[in-house]
Chains A and B, each alone.
Chain A
Amino acid sequence: QVQLVESGGGVVQPGRSLRLSCAASGFTFSSYAMHWVRQAPGKGLQWVAVISHDEGHIYYADSVKGRLTISRDNSKNTLYLQMNSLRAEDTAVYYCGKTIAGPTHAPIDYWGQGTLVTVSS
């Protein structure tokens, strides 16, 4: 069965960096676009970034452009989110998600359990 397991969250000071990972199993990782979505405490879902199956297409939400970088290693079945210049407003649970079909323009049918990132001094 499809499994997505995020890791790398924690407490970090403003301006510092963090790298999140999402280990995927139970499907052909290299065939699907993957997303990062975040949810601040008590708030709604906010889409962060998407990467196509072959890294040929990458898109970001305006609020994270230039600071967050999505990448993947298909040989390791792992999705990453490099987070630089972190701000208090980046505090959230970060979910990775698999698209229902190969293309990037498809909804998310499986979600990880999420990893909490807290940006605080």
Chain B
Amino acid sequence: DIQMAQSPSSLSASVGDRVTITCRASQGISNYLAWYQQKPGKVPKLLIYAASTLQSGVPSRFSGSGSGTDFSLTISSLQPEDVATYYCQKYNSASWTFGQGTKVEIK
């Protein structure tokens, strides 16, 4: 099975900071990668799919990039409402594996 490794596992940044989360696949997955946001006590929300396509209604401060094995999610200007855990997920082949998550907090 292809494994998905996210880093860091947690981060603390100030409002307005640029924040980047990375996700590395153990084998190439083309661009079959999604990013989800899960706020405390809430269900996950799709932010980005196909590695870089912003889901409808998601603020433009969120962006995704990458292809093959290395991907990133960037929040261009961190806002208080972005406090959440972020997960990457691959959706090619026969396993839809999630990364272990990155918890984002405000400093």
Asked if residues B91 and A106 are in contact (CB atoms below 8 Å), the reply is yes
Q: Is B66 an interface residue (CB 8 A)?
A: no
Q: A44-B87, A45-B87, A107-B34 are in contact. Are A113 and B43 (CB under 8 A)?
A: yes
- Among A78-121, those with CB < 8 Å from B are 95, 100, 105-109, 111-114
Check B43 against A105 for contact (C-beta < 8 Å).
no
With a cutoff of 8 Å between Cβ atoms, the chain B residues found around residue A114 in the complex are 43
Interface residues on A, range: 20 to 34
- The distance in angstroms between the C-alpha atoms of A105 and B99, with both chains bound, is 17
Query: Which residue in B43, B55, B97 is a CB contact (below 8 Å) of A47?
Result: B97
Complex Cα gap A106–B55 (Å): 13
Within 8 A of A (CB), among B29-65: 32, 34, 36, 38, 43-46, 49, 55
Residues of chain B within 8 A of A105, CB atoms compared: 32, 91-92
Contacts known (A100-B49, A107-B49); A47 close to B44, Cβ less than 8 A: no
Chain A residues, CB < 8 A from B97? 47
B-side residues, CB < 8 A to A, are: 1, 32, 34, 36, 38, 43-46, 49, 55, 85, 87, 89, 91-92, 94-101
